[in-house]
A and B are shown apart, each in its own frame.
Chain A
Amino acid sequence: MKMLVWVEHDGATVKDATLSTVTAATKLGAVDLLVAGAGVGAVTEAAAKIAGAGKVLVADDAALAHALAENVAPLVVTLMAGYDAFLVPATTNGKNIAPRVAALLDVMQISDILSVESADTFTRPIYAGNAIATVQSSDAKKVISVRGTAFKKAAAEGGSAAVEPVSGACDAGVSTYVGSEIAKSERPELTSAKIIVSGGRALQSSENFHAIIEPLADKLGAAVGASRAAVDAGYVPNDYQVGQTGKIVAPEVYIAIGISGAIQHLAGMKDSETIVAINMDEDAPIFHVADIGLVGDLFKIVPELTEML
């Protein structure tokens, strides 16, 4: 069995989610990587070092810049003539591209897998993770998106894959990239951070969120997350959101501050190794999943905690 893994990158570095996807793919067979983009020399070099990769296919073409699904998918479909499965990380880019590839191949995609049970059988979360389904695919070729937190990351160093340029990319002519606003932060990325400090609606304002949550995060070298309620209230931008429709995280330590624990939020963080909850309401559902809970006023507790650490 030959697997093709789509490498998620930002034009300069390989995103961590790719490494978990490589691990999942390795359970199915031999793994080649696809680096698609424009000006991807540095990414290709990094991808070739990923342990477990046999070959790195490189499609370097202006039409592939910004990972437009309309242009990337037809290229993948061509390459799939030589592969049994196409795997992507279940990131927004992966989720955008993979179903387009699947439909062109007439394959029913298996989304967000949590485990590989056999060559055609996988587990995946349904109902926001309130149930886990085991599904078996009858498609000859498979298209799979992989939940990054469910698989260990392959080593980013140590491999020495051969690099092979591929051609055939072209602009489908239906979409153009206009621009993006990607937040720059000195803090670690949410999906790969070891520690996350997350705030909820109880923070009451954007000012409080920054004044209470961020100093603690910086003291711990942590990433900052938020509940949907805090995002909807405008305390922080949407890319901070942890939950069913936001980011799925599983850090070593997740500190939930002023978050009640709606099922949509729990769906995004309940696989964290240790969960710490600080909340005024001792009946809040967050305490049902927390390993360590402290009931009390976050405006008093968190600054004290930051001070004492």
Chain B
Amino acid sequence: MKVLVPVKRVLDYNVKPRVKADGTGVDLANVKMSMNPFDEIAVEEAIRLKEKGVVTEVVVVSIGEAKAQETLRTALAMGADRAILVTSDAKVEPLGVAKLLKALADEELPGLVILGKQAIDDDNNQTGQMLAALTGWGQGTFASKVDVEGDFVTVTREVDGGAETEKLKLPAIVTTDLRLNEPRYASLPNIMKAKSKPLANRTPADFGVDIAPRLTTLKVVEPAKRSAGIKVADVEELVGTLKAIGVAK
């Protein structure tokens, strides 16, 4: 079985986002970019399934600017077998990404597509569910455990209040939550090896799908700041303050 893992290049999660002064977005010039952390978990899960012998090939795909090649090389260094870059300088929304992935799934015929549950830039949490809709496959979202057995995948999902388990017919879509696994670091020899792994270049035009954006971002601003509070000296003063605001009697 083949696994398809879409990955996105985003602002590194350790970098504090800065809103551009002209209100057009977040400043991404000269800042560290990395693979979306949830996608790293997706790549790791796919590689683990291969190591278990359940999966034969791990194909990673990214849709974005040419630099997303670096993100794909990272995935290859972790252990993915080959990569596909669909180059687009214009921003592609989750709906457009899902359409391109559907077209790729029709070509590649994966048994499983594993995606991060959300990208930490736009926080949309949509692509996996949308791809599931377009393929008509089952969706195991927010996964904390994935078991492939025969023609089915059993997914434990993190839901409000606890965990829920669903059994999906393959092929299926899985989106990863934080506790599914801890992604490995690529070793230096593997980083070197990744340079010679195949990376195919494609463009959205190859797939003939409508990826025109439906949303226009009118402006981006910083959230309202909280004003600095007070420090109290001891528990007695804290209790007094809590009483004053009505928390304690």
Please encode chain B, from 211 to 241, with 1 for each CB lying within 8 Å of some chain A CB and 0 for all others. 0011111111111001011111111101101
Q: B125 contacts which of A69, A95, A177, A294 (Cβ < 8 Å)?
A: A95
Contact between A100 and B132 (Cβ–Cβ < 8 Å)? Answer: yes
* Secondary structure dominating the interface of A: mixed
Contact between A107 and B214 (Cβ–Cβ < 8 Å)? Answer: yes
Please encode chain A, from 78 to 119, with 1 for each CB lying within 8 Å of some chain B CB and 0 for all others. 000000000000011101111111111011111110000000
A220 contacts which chain B residues (CB < 8 A)? 247-248
A208 contacts which chain B residues (CB < 8 A)? none
Contact between B169 and A174 (Cβ–Cβ < 8 Å)? Answer: yes
* Secondary structure dominating the interface of B: mixed
Residue on A with the closest CB to B127?
Answer: A99
Residue on A with the closest CB to B140?
Answer: A175
| A220 CA / B239 CA spacing, docked (Å) | 12
Residue on B with the closest CB to A105?
Answer: B133
Contact between A70 and B139 (Cβ–Cβ < 8 Å)? Answer: yes
Contact between B229 and A108 (Cβ–Cβ < 8 Å)? Answer: no
Contact between A175 and B138 (Cβ–Cβ < 8 Å)? Answer: yes
- Nearest-neighbour CB distance to chain B for A58, whole angstroms, equals 23
Interface size on B, residues (CB 8 A): 79
Contact between B218 and A175 (Cβ–Cβ < 8 Å)? Answer: no
| A43 CA / B165 CA spacing, docked (Å) | 23
Contact between B222 and A308 (Cβ–Cβ < 8 Å)? Answer: no
Counting chain A residues whose Cβ lies within 8 A of the other chain, the interface size class is 35 or more
- Check B47 for interface membership: any CB of A closer than 8 A: no
Residue on B with the closest CB to A306?
Answer: B235
| A245 CA / B123 CA spacing, docked (Å) | 10
Please encode chain B, from 109 to 130, with 1 for each CB lying within 8 Å of some chain A CB and 0 for all others. 0000000001011111111111
- Check B63 for interface membership: any CB of A closer than 8 A: no
- Check A167 for interface membership: any CB of B closer than 8 A: no
- Tally A-B pairs: CB < 8 A: 246
| A95 CA / B120 CA spacing, docked (Å) | 15
Contact between A93 and B177 (Cβ–Cβ < 8 Å)? Answer: no
- Check B45 for interface membership: any CB of A closer than 8 A: no
Contact between A102 and B130 (Cβ–Cβ < 8 Å)? Answer: yes
Contact between B160 and A247 (Cβ–Cβ < 8 Å)? Answer: yes
Q: Could you pull out 27 A-B pairs where Cβ atoms are within 8 angstroms? A: A95-B129, A96-B139, A99-B129, A100-B130, A102-B130, A111-B124, A111-B126, A126-B121, A126-B122, A130-B17, A132-B221, A135-B215, A176-B166, A180-B165, A183-B161, A191-B160, A263-B16, A275-B226, A276-B238, A287-B229, A292-B230, A292-B242, A293-B230, A293-B232, A294-B233, A294-B234, A309-B248
Q: Which residues of chain A have a CB within 8 Å of any CB of chain B? A: 66, 68-70, 73, 91-93, 95-104, 106-112, 121, 125-139, 172-183, 189, 191, 195, 220, 228, 232, 237-239, 244-245, 247, 252-253, 263, 270, 274-276, 287-296, 301, 304-305, 308-309
A103-B134, A134-B218, A239-B162 known; 11 new pairs, CB 8 Å cut-off, are A99-B94, A102-B133, A125-B223, A128-B123, A131-B222, A137-B215, A174-B172, A191-B160, A220-B247, A237-B162, A289-B226
